[in-house]
């Protein structure tokens, strides 16, 4: 009927062995969702629902207990250069300069590149995040926001098919976070990058995401709702709250986080949202809305 | 402020040195001996005098010993009479040879132990038993098996410098941040490149600390080992001068051992600075 999605997550489940003599703990289960090419998808949920584990499975750093992840119809079984990861705590190597950190990634991705080609690629992406003046500095000479920018440049520099971000701005102050969110938005819109990002910041999700996956709390966490962002593109932090959809959508997300799953947003909304096609009965409180 | 602090500290250091030399000089002044009503001519014939020189060398004696040795450090007048530079070179050669061999074994083995919990558990009992053995306890066994005094002392240096390096390498390797390993994984970095480009630089400061400790121990042990096996080296020199009852030379050698040990430590301190990084 339709072409298969870029990323297809099928019945994903993660179970950790419990303490000696106790039942194993299932953190999340029955996870099904899709990511289309060029889509910015945010995953929102409370801590403990296994958000980071989901991202690690997509990155190939962790293995699922059950279920599959397909990327362009091929099952993902390990880490790969087709996915760039921005880590929660930047994960820069402190003995390398900004240039060397990004070059480490570029050289791994483009093994046949000459020195000049590597350097050009590095400088292009360091410039993209506005860090050219600091390119020969070590991470300890940079501020937290600058370090996270280097992490973003490193992930983009391998030109991945998908970018995976694990609460990349969680450790930053509000001002810096806003600035980098704007930059990320601009870069993603310019490059049509496919992004999967974990956050617990509702406003961040509304600003950045095309599609928001709402997760229930663990254990046995599930994706209870897939909400499409009704705010029109291009969005900006300055204008966003004047959009008529902003407050209803924000309230909906907040209600979900505070009170748990309720009526899906697409059923409440009157316009600007994709129609709900699939409300087939499924077990649990989960509703899946797909375009 | 910091400049004036080092200036003042230097001044205090010099004062302490002067006070120490002064006290030493005072304590080793010739003493008056009461010869009673002995005939002075008879006393002179018996080698007795009214002023008796101290048995302990004076600062002046040490000064002249230092001067004699350092003005001609590399002479060779037979197997029992060689310049202090030659003796020192023998000791340094043994320490460096034993240390280098130990590093070649300890660093790869430490990598293995640090990366593999299985090998860590399997090798731990051996390390725990072998580590506390005084290196000199190996000497008879080494002499019997190797049958060469000089190589035996190299072996003793090897066996004593291997443990701190191995334990520190293992610790450094096992505590490489998971973040950095995850980065290497997502970039599909191969195992060799991962070892040299991620784990080695991450663990280098810890490894260098282990090497510094090992070098300190090796320099302590070489003196004792050379006293035991004799022949050449700074340790043999001390023992030889003790047999000659030349305490001025013994004290000179003690000072020299201290200075060389300090220089070796400083070299590893500098190397450690080169590979250190500020974690953020």
Write the pLDDT tens digit of every residue in A158-177. Answer: 999 999 999 888 878 888 88
Choose the closest CB to A95 out of B182, B187, B277: B277
- Residue ranges making up the domain that contains B14: 1-56
| Residue A278: per-residue pLDDT | 43
- A25 pLDDT band, cuts 50/70/90, is confident
Choose the closest CB to B188 out of A81, A95, A104: A81
DSSP 3-state of A161: coil
Chain A CB contacts of B188 under 8 Å are 79-81, 108
Q: Answer yes or no: do B16 and B121 share one domain.
A: no
Q: Answer yes or no: do B213 and B256 share one domain.
A: yes
User: Over 50: is that where the pLDDT of A256 sits?
Assistant: yes
DSSP 3-state of A272: coil
User: Over 80: is that where the pLDDT of A274 sits?
Assistant: no
Query: For A62-83, what is the mean pLDDT?
Result: 89
Is residue B71 included in any domain, yes or no?
yes
User: Over 70: is that where the pLDDT of A126 sits?
Assistant: yes
The CATH number of residue B113's host domain is 1.10.3720.10
- A228 pLDDT band, cuts 50/70/90, is confident
CATH number for the domain whose boundaries are A7-82+161-268: 3.40.50.300
| Residue B234: per-residue pLDDT | 93
Q: Answer yes or no: do B49 and B121 share one domain.
A: no
- What does the longest C-alpha to C-alpha distance in chain B come to? 98
| Residue A285: per-residue pLDDT | 45
DSSP-derived pairing of the beta strands A40-44 and A211-215: parallel
Q: Answer yes or no: do B166 and B235 share one domain.
A: yes
Q: Answer yes or no: do B19 and B107 share one domain.
A: no
The average confidence (pLDDT) of chain A is 84
Say yes or no for a CB contact (<8 Å) between A105 and B187. Answer: yes
Query: What is the C-alpha separation between B14 and A223, in angstroms, rounded?
Result: 75
User: Over 90: is that where the pLDDT of A85 sits?
Assistant: yes
Low-confidence ranges of chain B (pLDDT < 50): none
Query: For A76-87, what is the mean pLDDT?
Result: 90
User: Over 70: is that where the pLDDT of A1 sits?
Assistant: no
Give the residue, B52 or A258, on which the prediction is more confident: A258
A71 touches chain B (CB under 8 A): no
B279 touches chain A (CB under 8 A): yes
Q: Which residue of B has its CA nearest to A62?
A: B182
B278 touches chain A (CB under 8 A): yes
Query: What is the C-alpha separation between A36 and A100, in angstroms, rounded?
Result: 33
| Residue A284: per-residue pLDDT | 44
What is the number of structural domains in chain B? 2
ipTM value: 0.82
Give the residue, B97 or A13, on which the prediction is more confident: B97
Of A75, A72, A52, which Cα lies nearest the Cα of A62? A52
Say yes or no for a CB contact (<8 Å) between B279 and A59. Answer: no
Q: What is the residue-wise DSSP string for B209-233?
A: HHHHHHHHHHHHHHHHHHHHH-SSS
Q: What is the pLDDT of residues A233-242, one digit of tens each?
A: 778 888 888 8
């Amino acid at each position: 009927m339709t072409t298969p999605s870029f990323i297809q997550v099928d019945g994903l489940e993660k179970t950790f062995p419990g303490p000696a003599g106790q039942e194993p703990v299932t953190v999340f289960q029955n996870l099904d969702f899709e990511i289309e090419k060029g889509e910015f998808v945010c995953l929102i949920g409370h801590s403990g629902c296994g958000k980071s584990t989901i991202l690690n499975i997509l990155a190939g750093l962790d293995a699922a207990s059950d279920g599959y992840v397909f990327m362009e119809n091929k099952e993902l079984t390990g880490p790969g250069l087709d996915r760039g990861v921005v880590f929660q705590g930047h994960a820069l190597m402190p003995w390398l300069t900004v240039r060397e950190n990004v070059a480490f990634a570029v050289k791994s991705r483009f093994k046949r590149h000459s020195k000049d080609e590597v350097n050009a690629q590095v400088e292009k992406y360091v410039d993209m995040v506005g860090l050219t003046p600091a390119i020969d500095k070590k991470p300890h000479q940079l501020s937290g926001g600058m370090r996270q920018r280097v992490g973003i440049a490193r992930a983009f520099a391998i030109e991945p098919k998908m970018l995976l971000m694990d609460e990349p701005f969680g450790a930053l102050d509000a001002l810096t976070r806003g600035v980098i969110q704007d930059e990320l938005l601009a870069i993603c819109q310019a490059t049509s990058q496919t992004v999967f990002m974990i956050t617990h910041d509702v406003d961040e999700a509304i600003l950045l995401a095309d599609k928001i996956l709402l997760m229930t709390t663990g254990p046995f966490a599930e994706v209870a709702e897939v909400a499409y962002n009704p705010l029109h593109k291009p969005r900006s932090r300055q204008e966003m709250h004047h959009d008529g959809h902003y407050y209803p959508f924000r309230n909906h997300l907040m209600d979900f986080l505070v009170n748990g799953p309720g009526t899906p947003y697409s059923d409440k909304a009157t316009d600007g949202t994709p129609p709900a096609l699939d409300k087939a009965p499924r077990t649990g409180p989960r509703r899946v809305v797909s375009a | 402020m910091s400049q004036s602090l080092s200036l003042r500290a230097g001044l205090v250091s010099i004062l302490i040195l002067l006070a120490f030399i002064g006290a030493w000089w005072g304590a080793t002044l010739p003493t008056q001996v009461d010869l009673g009503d002995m005939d002075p001519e008879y006393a002179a014939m018996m080698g007795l005098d009214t002023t008796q020189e101290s048995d302990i060398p004076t600062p002046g004696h040490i000064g002249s010993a230092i001067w004699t040795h350092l003005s001609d450090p590399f002479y060779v007048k037979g197997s029992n009479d060689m310049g202090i530079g030659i003796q020192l070179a023998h000791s340094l050669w043994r320490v460096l040879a034993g240390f280098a061999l130990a590093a070649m074994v300890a660093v790869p083995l430490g990598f293995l132990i640090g990366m593999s919990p299985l090998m860590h558990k399997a090798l731990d009992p051996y390390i725990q038993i072998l580590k506390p053995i005084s290196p000199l306890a190996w000497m008879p066994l080494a002499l019997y098996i190797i049958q060469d005094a000089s190589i035996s002392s190299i072996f003793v240096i090897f066996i004593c410098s291997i443990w701190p390096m191995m334990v520190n390498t293992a610790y450094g390797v096992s505590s490489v941040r998971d973040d950095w390993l995850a980065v290497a994984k997502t970039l599909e970095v191969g195992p060799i490149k991962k070892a040299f480009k991620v784990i080695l630089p991450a663990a280098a400061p810890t490894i260098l600390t282990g090497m510094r400790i090992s070098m300190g121990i090796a320099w302590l042990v070489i003196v004792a080992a050379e006293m035991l096996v004799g022949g050449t080296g700074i340790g043999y020199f001390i023992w030889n001068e003790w047999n000659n009852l030349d305490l001025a030379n013994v004290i000179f050698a003690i000072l020299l051992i201290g200075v060389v040990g300090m220089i070796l430590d400083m070299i590893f301190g500098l190397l450690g600075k080169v590979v250190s990084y500020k974690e953020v």
